[in-house]
Amino acid sequence: MSIANKLLGIFLCLILSACSTPPKAPTTDERTVRQGSGQVEKLCTENPPPGYTSGMEARLKAELPLAGTTEAQAEGVLKNYFDQHPRRGTDRGEDLEKYLFHICEMSNNGGWSAGETERFITLFIDGWTTSKSEAAATPPDPRCTKQLKQGYALRERIDNEYGQSRRAGTFLDRRDEFTAKWGEEAGEWAAETRAVLLQIGGPTAKGRFQNAQTPIGMVSGDVKWNNIRNFLRTRLAALESICKAP
Whether the predicted pLDDT of 166 surpasses 80: yes
pLDDT in tens, 195-231: 999 998 888 889 989 988 766 555 567 889 989 988 9
Query: Among 177, 178, 154, which Cα is nearest to 164's?
Result: 178
Question: How high is the pLDDT of residue 51?
Answer: 78
Of the candidates 112, 126, 135, which has an alpha carbon nearest to the alpha carbon of residue 79? 126
Q: In whole angstroms, what is the distance from residue 20 CA to residue 63 CA?
A: 29
Give the start-end residues of each E strand in the chain: 32-35, 40-43
For the chain, the average pLDDT equals 74
pLDDT of 150 > 90? The answer is yes
List Cβ neighbours of 46 (8 Å cut-off, separation of 6 or more): 14, 18, 21, 30
Report which of residues 159 and 26 the model is more confident about: 159
Eight-class DSSP state of 36: T
Q: Report pLDDT for 52.
A: 80
**In this predicted model, what pLDDT tens digit does every residue of 85-126 receive, in sequence order?**
655 544 444 577 788 888 888 887 777 777 777 777 777 777
Pairwise CA distance, residues 200 & 193, whole Å: 10
Q: Is the Cβ–Cβ distance between 58 and 97 less than 8 Å? A: no
Measured distance CA(39)–CA(50) in Å, rounded: 28
Q: Provide the CA 86 distance to its chain's centre, in angstroms.
A: 6
The reported pTM is 0.46
